[in-house]
Structure 1
């Protein structure tokens, strides 16, 4: 199977594309925005008649600097050259050079090894290009160039370095230089490319510096953020125990808050019983009292249930007193059977969350006094009384116990029920004496 050497991709000639891109970049230094990257160079021009002068490479006069230009050119007489004007289509400069070379080969009266030629663009439009073509004989031009080099060397100091190869110029009618190829124009082209590269490198460095200046604040902020993150991580590592204890404390506080909320929704049964004992009259007997949250359901017997409901409604913290069913009175009975439901206010009947205060600590003086009091009887007990031997020792009499107070065993308070067999809410009963309990 034969390998294809056609460099086409989807009908596009890659070699031609590469050549076009290369030509475009070669013309880039000539663009107005980039022309300053390759500044025009100065030369010392030795004319056919007159003294040498400093000119730009475009042929325009240049001011004399503090030092002489590095390159120089020699103008050859008009009698040594042949001229021809060419009219070509609008070609690129590289294509124009190829067309001029083909024209020289076609019209040159000199041998191929003896011909010297050069060209310059006289004008350019979108449709055509006019070229000025110049031909000369090497055998005539080189002796003339050598004589100019010798004259130039004599004008310099004795210890001066030897002159480099000069360029050979011929001027067009518009005073535009035409460079004859094959002499010192290559050194100037190399120097121009070096300056172009140095200037481009300087522009690149300046661009990098501007980018660095623009990025520096952002980079500083990022570095500070990274440093802050590291510092935070270090502080978090050092305070791990404290943070754990704080979390435990917060969890405990949440639990206490939840417990307080649950307790606030309940009522204290002791307070409820105390209120019922105070409010219910003596003719009322409770059969059951059910507490569900802040709802209380009372079932019992009373002489007038409406009066009982009115008394309960007037009590502080009691609201929504109602009878889910009508009160009933059995035949021959003097009391009504009632069922009453009421709602209690948690602020009044809720459980008390205050902790009991500890007893006050004894002062040092009270402590010393209490310690000294039990020591007195022991000293009296240990002391031996001195009595006569004849006197009889009286027998020790037992201490007389004082009778208990009359009302020590008596207690009054609310009781459940009104019968003798058990307590009742709404009445009181004297407590039994100690002898009756025995």
Structure 2
């Protein structure tokens, strides 16, 4: 059965301690021996003793820079060195682990133990930590005899394990670390102020954009309100045009009978008359009488408004001398 505690592990990290992992990462970034921030902001230390003479900055020997504090390197005869190999999981609790290691490896009483450590290597298989342990009373005797130092907070005390020094805790290193902490605080305040200023600039820019947007929206609303009447009139005009077009289409499809009757009256004159007039669209059917029916048919044929004139026959009406004609007429589309 799956262990319930394993449900909170992701890539080997306990997610319940994610806040602690975050704090450890930041502490290593700002306070670690290989921290790029500390390498930039830490002070130059004048170092002497133990066969070493020079200036150190961020744990490395340098030629330039004005030292602001001093440290004394203990001879190897006063220091117990030990190289520890720890698993990567111990990094989050490295302070606690090293306190236990110091208690386990120190041959001196706890009150007389001065110790320090440095993380020398971090690899895929684990951590390599250099531990230095010394007797506090023996250190003070050495400082008094060889360097005329009698106060415990007068000088920093270092031990040299290989190339990088190890700072023994509990001496004068606290003042330098306090100044470094104040520098970090000032930089954090400057960065915070710059961030706030940037946010203020962005807020002002966004506020200006918002005000302009409100102005544009008000202008758009006013223009839309003013254009509403024009739009309504345009729609009314469009409807009227559509109505006119529809009426024209109807008139083209169904010509006005009054106009055709007036045209026939002008064409026939007083010599002929219409007995029957039938109109279906552009098709006319005429039945009438005249003394010269053939002449009437010819007159209708010559009319430009008529596309086609079909004589359906002419008959005489008794012995009255009057003839009856039947004619089918097709009006010309779009004609006068």
When the two structures are superposed, what TM-score results if normalisation uses the length of structure 2?
0.70
Do the aligned partners of 1:309 and 1:340 also contact (CA within 8 Å) in 2? no
Q: Deviations over 1:145-164 (max 9, x none)?
A: 578997699xxxxxxxxx97
1:170 corresponds to = 159
| SS class of match (2:111) | coil
Task: Choose the corresponding residue for 1:258, options 243, 254, 272.
Answer: 243
Listed as ranges, the matches of 1:305-324 within 5 Å are 308-322=296-310
When the two structures are superposed, what TM-score results if normalisation uses the length of structure 1?
0.56
Q: 1:108 to 1:151 in 2, by over 3 A?
A: closer
Q: Distance in 1 between matches of 2:166 and 2:61?
A: 13
| SS class of match (2:219) | helix
Do the aligned partners of 1:85 and 1:133 also contact (CA within 8 Å) in 2? yes
1:378 corresponds to = none
CA RMSD in angstroms, aligned pairs only: 4.7
Count the aligned residue pairs. 323
Structure in which a larger fraction of residues adopt helix: 2
1:327 corresponds to = 313
1:229 corresponds to = 217
Task: Give, in angstroms, the shift of residue 171 of structure 1.
Answer: 1.4
Q: 1:145 to 1:335 in 2, by over 3 A?
A: farther
1:104 equivalenced with 2:102 (yes/no): yes
Q: Distance in 1 between matches of 2:204 and 2:243?
A: 54
Listed as ranges, the matches of 1:331-342 within 5 Å are 332=318, 335-342=323-330
Q: Distance in 1 between matches of 2:181 and 2:113?
A: 28
Do the aligned partners of 2:21 and 2:92 also contact (CA within 8 Å) in 1? no
Q: Deviations over 1:84-106 (max 9, x none)?
A: 33344456545554444333222
2:130 corresponds to = 132
Q: 1:212 to 1:315 in 2, by over 3 A?
A: farther
Do the aligned partners of 1:76 and 1:170 also contact (CA within 8 Å) in 2? yes
Q: 1:341 to 1:45 in 2, by over 3 A?
A: same
Q: Distance in 2 between matches of 1:321 and 1:184?
A: 130
Do the aligned partners of 1:46 and 1:74 also contact (CA within 8 Å) in 2? yes
Q: Deviations over 1:355-404 (max 9, x none)?
A: xxxxxxxxxxxxxxxxxxxxxxxxxxxxxxxxxxxxxxxxxxxxxxxxxx
2:171 corresponds to = 183
Structure in which a larger fraction of residues adopt strand: 2
Task: Give, in angstroms, the shift of residue 115 of structure 1.
Answer: 0.9
Do the aligned partners of 1:285 and 1:300 also contact (CA within 8 Å) in 2? yes
Decide which structure has the larger Cα Rg and report it.
1
Greater mean deviation of Cα atoms: 7-16 or 181-190: 7-16
1:48 equivalenced with 2:46 (yes/no): no
Q: Which runs of no fewer than 5 residues in structure 2 stay unpaired?
A: none
Q: Deviations over 1:235-276 (max 9, x none)?
A: 566x48xx6478458636853773476267535556433421
